[in-house]
Amino acid sequence: MASARVGPRLQASGILRAHRLFGCVLVLAAALRALVMLAYDTARLYWYDSFTYLDTAVHMKPPGAFHPAGYSWLLWALRPFHSVELIAGLQHAMGLGTGVMIYLMLRRRSLPAWGATLAAVPVLFDPAFLRLEHAVLSDELVIFLVVAALLVLLWRREVSGRAAVWTGGAAGVLLALAGLTRTATVPLIALAALCLLLRRASWRQAAALAVAGALPLLGYAGWYAQHHGRFALSGSDGVALWARTMTFADCSVIEPPPEQAPLCPNGAVQDAASEYVWDPRASLNRMPGDRFTHNDLARAFAFRAIAAQPLDYLREVAGDTSLAFTWEPVPHPKRMVPSTAFARGAWPLPAGQPLVDRVRREYDPDIRGMRSVEPYASILAAYPYPWFLHGTLFGVLLLVGGAGAVLRPRLVLLPWAFAVFLLVAPVAALDFDHRYVLPAIPVACVAAALAVSALRRPSSGRSPGRRPGGAITPRATIMLRPRERA
């Protein structure tokens, strides 16, 4: 009896020793998030994105413009608490959860504790991530769902039968939810299925992923059609792509038909493609009606412009994407100043906006502009995180992951392809935004960590505790490996 009791105690002690480094890091990351909650008196609310999300959570229907309803579903579930501070707290917990998933994923793939911990550091300690967690924005939910899908797909080296169907289906649903939170991530479903087939995974897993990912999207598109009269996920894709073309479009080359000619550049000049969406002088906004009523026409013009000037389009996309890798922060657009610091001050809400008053009345009566709180804000403002760790290092991670994707595609291709897509897709569809880079960073960390680990091992070698097919044996679980090495 005594030996039976000692066994579990020794095992628990071994587990704690195996993960004590990450445990210490996780405690520090949680303390940093607690400091953020103390340093600001409420969650950060952005006009008009945050209020659109909150209003949709109260009046549940698919928005007709930029934002699908996925994030608002989460806000709807939290509505009984009438607290945007609770939303921020939950998103801080999601940030910690993302770090835990990265660590577990890499430990499962035989990385040492220090390597898996290092890969989780950016998402746990980069102020840009913590600021997003503290805002009523959809970004943190997107990051959490994408990393969760990656965890499901990478947890086992080989799957077959029911396991292939269940893992593929679970990943497909997670990616569909990410797509219904931000439509730019919808193609990740097809990309994941393609990567699974290229690495010769189970065809059942790829098929289950594709089907499970497509069904929620089709259901949402049907719901959207009931309210807006067309089968789609949003009503802004054409407007966004039209704005992208305004940085290079030359209608003497494009030669648009008469119905598209009013969308040609009209002399209004902005320093970033996304600014054309809101510029009242831009050609789209000078047409009668709301800009989004011309979404189909704008899409047709954009496709014609890209087909007529493909090299100009690629030049603009490549140039804007390169802003993610700079040593020093580059404002884009110039009115936005990127930073990895925590700011002090007050951020009042716009006055005289009926939407603000409605959300305050229907979702949280205590909604107000965020203010910093001393002395916590001064402590937080002193927190150092150099920009090159956010920008230049990200480029290095992508290069390392790319080398791994070429030389060890079965292991590295999937996360690296995700990272590249998450970086480039928003730029190709609309514009570069420092905020939109963030979902790519944790996935790039996973790809780079797997690449370094894989490239250090002979491709034909087998690690202890693994069957020839690569499956982990019971004795080789991540909990017991450190004790076995000892």
Domain ranges of the chain: 1-155+341-384, 237-325
At 27-41, the pLDDT tens digits run 999 999 999 999 999
Number of neighbours of residue 193 by Cβ within 10 angstroms: 24
Does the pLDDT value for residue 474 go beyond 50? no
Task: Specify whether the CB–CB gap between 121 and 93 falls below 8 A.
Answer: no
What predicted TM-score, i.e. pTM, was given to this entire model? 0.90
> What CA dihedral angle connects 262, 266, 270 and 275, to 10 degrees?
-20
Structure confidence at residue 235 (pLDDT): 87
Does the pLDDT value for residue 405 go beyond 90? yes
Structure confidence at residue 478 (pLDDT): 37
Smallest Cα–Cα separation from 91: which of 138, 47, 58, 46?
Answer: 138
Local structure of 374: helix, strand or coil: coil
At 176-192, the pLDDT tens digits run 999 999 999 999 999 99
* Lowest-pLDDT range of 46-50, 338-342, 460-464: 460-464
Contacts of 340 (CB under 8 A, 6+ apart): 126, 127, 128, 329, 385, 386, 387, 389, 390
Residues 412, 22: Cα–Cα separation, whole Å: 23
